[in-house]
Amino acid sequence: MTLIVDDAGSGDLLFGVVVGAYHDDTGEFKYDLIDVRFYQDIFREKEYLQESSRVVSQLVSKFNLKADEPIHICQGCIFDVAAEELQKVYGEDRVKRIHVDGEAQRLVEIAYLDEIRNLGYEPLAERDEKRGKSFFHMLRWLKDNPEMLRYAKTGWPRLKKYQLFKVFHTPQTFTAICSECGSECEVPFQPKADKPVFCQKCWPNHKVPHNKSHKNRKRKTIKH
């Protein structure tokens, strides 16, 4: 009697991620979603790890587990935070990281396929065996249906080499007032009221000088 937690879709271009929990004794299966927005503008902040932990915690709480029932959670990095949090609640001996296969994996995969079919996309039949081919199949579908880009993991850094995703990887700039000369300027970060902002002309006056003294330091001769 074990509760098994797995995911599907984390490596796929379309949609967010399905996280499912399967009880191998009762056959009960429940799942929830990590929204695709965690894989878009805020992907670099890795907030999807905290969201994964929240989703897993809620799923586990929905099962009436006995005090000694183990919880097995997939080894994928998407569950690194979730596993640590579960171990704090249920104990390290009870929560184990495993390679998930069998019925738990099958049900989570079906749930993911149902979600992407709801978008109007029909996945490749051999997607499990040909992940690379599946990626390009999804990519071509997005090219034909650009309005569906809102359902794609556009925050992946590797996508910037594709023309379709360049707009999502263009460095963002913000308008600010230089704290020294008072002119309007653009900066590559969100200005904060409690920190000074300098334009390109004034910035050199405030750069911290690089300490080069170590280059001029002579080696000491050790006498024997």
User: Which pLDDT tens digit goes with each residue over 132-157?
Assistant: 899 999 999 999 999 999 999 999 98
Say which range, 77-81, 194-198, 200-204, 207-211, has the weakest mean pLDDT: 207-211
**Percent of the chain as helix, strand, coil, to the nearest 5:** 40, 15, 40
Mean pLDDT of the chain: 89
User: Looking at the domain that runs over 3-167, which CATH code has it been given?
Assistant: 3.30.420
Position 172 scores a pLDDT of 66
Asked if residues 57 and 82 have their Cβ atoms less than 8 Å apart, the reply is yes
**Residue 217 to residues 13, 36, 166, 212, 213: CA-CA distances in angstroms?**
53, 53, 47, 9, 6
Say which range, 14-23, 30-39, 186-195, has the weakest mean pLDDT: 186-195
- Looking at the predicted structure, is the pLDDT value of residue 220 above 50? no
Position 171 scores a pLDDT of 63
- Looking at the predicted structure, is the pLDDT value of residue 212 above 80? no
Higher-confidence residue of 62 and 208: namely: 62
Position 49 scores a pLDDT of 97
> Would the CA dihedral through 98, 12, 155, 22 be positive or negative?
negative
- Looking at the predicted structure, is the pLDDT value of residue 191 above 90? no
Higher-confidence residue of 212 and 114: namely: 114
User: Which pLDDT tens digit goes with each residue over 56-96?
Assistant: 999 999 999 999 999 999 999 999 999 999 999 999 999 99
Position 34 scores a pLDDT of 98
**DSSP-derived 3-state class of residue 46:** coil
Report the run of H or E that residue 140 belongs to, with start and end.
Answer: helix 131-144
* Of 64, 62, 61, 49, nearest in space to 89 by CA: 61
Under 8 Å CB-to-CB from 61, ≥6 apart: which residues?
Answer: none
Average pLDDT over residues 37-62: 95
Position 165 scores a pLDDT of 85
Can you tell me the distance from the alpha carbon of 67 to that of 50, in angstroms, rounded to the nearest whole number? 25
Tell me the domain boundaries of the chain: 3-167, 171-216
- Looking at the predicted structure, is the pLDDT value of residue 170 above 80? no
Q: For helices 80-90 and 47-61, give the axis angle rounded to 10 degrees.
A: 40
Position 54 scores a pLDDT of 98
- Residue 216 neighbours by CB distance under 10 Å: 6
